[in-house]
Amino acid sequence: MTGRRTRDPQARRAALAAATMEVIAEAGVGRTTHRAVAAKAGLPLGATTYYFPTLDDLIAAGLRHAVDALQTDLDQWDERLRNAPDMAVALTGLVREYLTDRRQVRLEYELCLAAARDAALRPLADVWMRGLPAILEPYVGAGAGRDICALIDGIILLTLTTETVLDEPGLTAAIRRLGGAATAG
């Protein structure tokens, strides 16, 4: 059996899940198909139906993949902020790092926007919308944590739509104003 390629089922499932979220971000849930996901993943159509027999299974796997990845990112942000001497500076640095992969940022924001139209995607948006404020709450309180997250979302959208660089000093100063003295080291 030389020349036969070894197939890695876990890698294929992960590739299909990631491709599903890309297709959803680009076309919406209603226009997501097994065929479109297979093409995006660079895998045969049969792989999608083998691993995910129904479209609902495929979309659910994509959503789980995206939620898990986002939760991992938030856990890393939480750890970095816990060990930071200055929360506002550290949070600005995390936003700067996040913006280095503009393609991924656009994908995640497309998915959050899609969640406004499709309830099936709301768990993904919920992880971000509730996760980051919860991380910030011990430093600045619940209200300021929500306000800082709204500011960060606005700044990220501004940098994406204007294709500009992050105004780090401006963001740090705004986080300090919203968070009060609790944000300074």
Q: Which whole number is the average pLDDT over 104-116?
A: 82
Q: Which of 6-15, 114-123, 128-137, 154-163 has the lowest mean pLDDT?
A: 114-123
Position 45: which residue type?
L
Both tokens assigned to 71 = 């939760």
Higher pLDDT, 103 or 141: 141
Cα 116 to chain center, whole Å? 15
Mean of all residue pLDDT scores within the chain: 89
Residue 141 banded pLDDT, cuts 50, 70, 90: very high
CA distances to 93, 95, 131, 132, 152 from 183, in Å:
14, 16, 18, 15, 15
pTM equals 0.81
> How confident is the model over 59-78, as pLDDT tens digits?
888 888 888 888 999 999 99
Q: Which whole number is the average pLDDT over 41-61?
A: 92
> Contacts from 80-87 at CB under 8 Å and sequence distance 24+?
81/135, 81/136, 81/139, 84/185, 85/185, 86/183, 86/184, 86/185, 87/136, 87/139, 87/140, 87/175, 87/179, 87/182, 87/183, 87/184, 87/185
Both tokens assigned to 132 = 């980051």
Q: Which whole number is the average pLDDT over 35-51?
A: 94
- Letter string b/e over residues 108-126, b meaning 16 or more CB atoms within 10 A of that residue's CB: bbbbbebbeeeeebeebbe
pLDDT value, residue 70 = 86
pLDDT value, residue 5 = 47
* Spatial separation of the C-alpha atoms in residues 172 and 125, rounded to whole Å: 24
pLDDT value, residue 3 = 42
Q: Which whole number is the average pLDDT over 116-137?
A: 87
> Contacts from 123-129 at CB under 8 Å and sequence distance 24+?
123/63, 123/67, 124/63, 124/66, 124/67, 124/70, 127/67, 127/70, 127/71, 127/74, 128/70, 128/74
Backbone angles phi and psi of 174, in degrees to 5: -65, -40
* Spatial separation of the C-alpha atoms in residues 72 and 49, rounded to whole Å: 28
Higher pLDDT, 43 or 119: 43
> How confident is the model over 131-140, as pLDDT tens digits?
999 999 999 9
Q: Indicate the DSSP class of residue 119.
A: G
Domains of the chain from N-terminus onward: 9-183 (1.10.357.10)
Residue 86 CB neighbour total at 10 angstroms: 14
